[in-house]
Amino acid sequence: MALKKWKTLSKKTVIDNGFWKYNLDEFEISEGKKGEYHYLYSPGSTLIIPFTAENKIVLVNQYRYLNEKSGWEFPCGSISEGYTPEENAIKELREESGFTAAKLIKTGEFAPFTGASNEICHIFVARDLSPSPLEADDTEEFEIQEFTPLEFKNMIQSNQIWDGLTLAAYALNINLF
């Protein structure tokens, strides 16, 4: 049995904050069934798993307003207008960790908010790091630290790493740890 494809009747952006859009679509399914779909439109995001020459993992600790707590994460951010995922990954790595990478390899992608957003997160592994800081957004503040793969796994177990994007990227690249 083929699944029914929905037909978009109209699209409306309710709010555009420059990072994402809150959209409202009207749709129709076969047999005249119509409805509204509220969702976040995102240009996508990039997440970087940075490894030092000593095979340590560079993480950033940052405060998450909606969760009212901080946690350790891989550098990650929304794709800026005009950037490819690769270009954005380099920019985010520099802004959040202060490093650039001689080797940047795309290892996968996933949808972090299926049903609530169209976002696709592109995962990159960064190697051959060298210092190259780039000023971050004025609302972002980071603590940067390097961890061994064992320390990283222990941080997941102790809930110091609780960010879903970081956990998904780890699961998709578990062979690197």
CATH code matching the domain that covers 45-176, chosen among 3.40.50.150, 3.90.79.10, 3.90.1150.170, 3.20.20.70 = 3.90.79.10
Strands (E) across the chain are located at 7-16, 21-29, 33-41, 45-50, 57-64, 69-73, 76-78, 99-110, 121-131, 143-147
Q: In a 3-state reduction of DSSP, which class is residue 32?
A: helix
Q: What is the mean pLDDT of each run of 10 residues along the chain (177 residues)?
A: 91 94 95 93 97 98 95 97 97 97 98 96 98 84 95 97 98 95
pLDDT digit string, tens, across residues 60-83: 999 999 999 999 999 999 999 999
Tokens of 82: 């005009």
* Angle between helical axes of 149-157 and 164-172 (0-180°, round to 10): 130
Q: Say what the pTM is.
A: 0.93
- List for the chain the helix, strand, coil content (%; round to 5): 25, 45, 30
Q: Where are the domains of the chain?
A: 7-41, 45-176
pLDDT digit string, tens, across residues 135-145: 877 878 889 99
